[in-house]
């Protein structure tokens, strides 16, 4: 991958010599003659490093460093003359990754750039890992849906939004019918495949603001913001309809059907999170009592 550097220096000679050296090392250089010009360029692309002189007309390199760190998060390497009134501490405190005195040998610049790049890469990998861990912490491993911990977290947030705006908020609670029988007949692994399929079917029926969760073993929930219970029922019925058309083949030349019971309910002003879920749960059990494979609201 080509490395890109935004090179900022008001000294034409230093700038062009540095640019030439960097380009010879295969680096993609974008030159700027002032901090102001650099900031304009930063709105059009994101370099791996900003390499900047400190003493410049207008905004100086330290101000530029602070601004770049705060608003773009790009690593900054600063360069300055020995005689200048700037210290290493000032540069680092402004957010610079490193500091180089002019006139410098290009070998030293090369080394410092490599060090900053290593730091940039490590930080990016670390950030990616943190994102991945955060995603794992809220995801159900089998179905790829969100897990129940995230369900409570999101539902709480939606209820808080409800108390501010009073926009309708509904949930669906879905429980696979007689799933114990399915496992007993076809084995747990085949049961797992049904759960995965359920995840896919539910996901395929969601609108952009709806979110789906594996609530428990063979139970799922859907949170539907900005949705009245009548519309939530339509979503639930769509899920139930698709599942009822699905033919599973747990063994060669053997087929099986799976159905689901659903409870749907809408949040009301007197509700708490607990009473809301309890009502969805009761509606789901009413579907079971009434013969399964149906939706109650
Ligand atoms: P009902 O219609 O009343 O809901 O009957 P049911 O058999 O679905 O309900 P019950 O609560 O008795 O059994 C739930 C079953 O779900 C038992 C368990 O084996 C199965 N189950 C729960 N989690 C998993 C899982 O991760 N994988 C598989 N294969 N089965 C699971
Ligand atoms: Mg200068
Ligand atoms: Mg259950
Ligand atoms: Mg069940």
Q: What percent of the chain has pLDDT over 90?
A: 95
Q: Are 187 and 250 in contact (CB under 8 A)?
A: yes
Mean pLDDT of 54-81: 95
178 lines ligand 1 (CB under 6 A): yes
Q: Which atom of ligand 1 is nearest to the CA of 177?
A: 2
Q: Are 15 and 33 in contact (CB under 8 A)?
A: yes
Categorize the per-residue pLDDT at 86 as very low, low, confident or very high, splitting at 50, 70 and 90.
confident
Residue nearest to atom 27 of ligand 1 (CA): 192
Which tokens is 63 given?
A: 């101000």
The predicted pLDDT at position 88 comes to 85
Nearest bound ligand to the CA of residue 8: 2
276 lines ligand 1 (CB under 6 A): no
What is the β-pairing status of strands 75-81 and 211-214?
unpaired
Return the active site residues.
218
Cα angle for residues 282, 276, 236 (degrees, 5° grid): 65
Indicate whether 171 pLDDT > 90: yes
177 lines ligand 1 (CB under 6 A): yes
Quote the ligand 2 centre to 126 CA distance (angstroms).
35
179 lines ligand 1 (CB under 6 A): yes
User: Cα dist. 46→75, 137, 165, 180 in Å?
Assistant: 10, 31, 39, 55
Average pLDDT of every residue of the chain: 96
Residues paired with 99 in a beta bridge: 78
The predicted pLDDT at position 292 comes to 98
Q: Are 266 and 168 in contact (CB under 8 A)?
A: yes
Indicate whether 85 pLDDT > 80: no
Q: Which residues contact 103 (CB under 8 A, 6 or more apart)?
A: 81
Nearest bound ligand to the CA of residue 281: 3
Closest CA to 259 of 217, 287, 235, 232: 287
Q: What is the tens place of the pLDDT at every residue in 4-63? A: 999 999 999 999 999 999 999 999 999 999 999 999 999 999 999 999 999 999 999 999
The whole model's pTM is what?
0.81
């Amino acid at each position: 991958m080509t490395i890109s550097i935004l090179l900022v220096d008001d000294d034409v000679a230093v700038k062009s010599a540095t640019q030439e050296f960097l380009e010879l090392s295969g680096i993609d250089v974008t030159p700027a003659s002032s901090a102001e010009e650099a900031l304009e360029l930063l709105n059009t692309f994101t370099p791996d490093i900003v390499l900047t002189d400190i003493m410049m007309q207008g905004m100086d390199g330290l101000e530029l460093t602070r601004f770049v760190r705060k608003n773009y998060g790009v690593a900054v390497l600063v360069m300055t003359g020995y005689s200048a009134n700037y210290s290493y501490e000032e540069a680092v405190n402004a957010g610079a990754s490193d500091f180089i005195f002019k006139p410098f040998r290009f070998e030293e610049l090369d080394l410092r750039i490599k060090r900053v790049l290593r730091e940039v890469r490590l930080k990016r990998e670390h950030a990616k890992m943190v994102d991945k861990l955060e995603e794992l912490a809220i995801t159900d491993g089998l179905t790829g849906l969100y897990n129940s911990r995230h369900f409570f977290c999101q539902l709480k947030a939606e209820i808080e939004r409800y108390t501010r705006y009073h926009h309708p908020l509904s949930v669906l609670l879905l429980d696979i019918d007689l799933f114990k029988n399915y496992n007993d007949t076809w084995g747990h692994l085949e049961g797992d495949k049904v759960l995965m399929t359920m995840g896919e079917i539910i996901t395929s029926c969601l609108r952009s603001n709806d979110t789906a969760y594996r609530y428990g073993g063979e139970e799922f929930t859907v949170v539907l913001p900005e949705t009245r219970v009548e519309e939530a029922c339509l979503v639930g019925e769509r899920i139930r309809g698709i599942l009822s058309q699905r033919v599973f083949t747990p063994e060669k030349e053997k087929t099986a059907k799976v159905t689901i019971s659903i409870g749907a309910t809408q949040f009301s002003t007197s509700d708490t999170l607990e009473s809301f879920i309890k009502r969805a749960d009761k509606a789901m059990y009413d579907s079971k009592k009434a013969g399964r494979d149906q939706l109650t609201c």
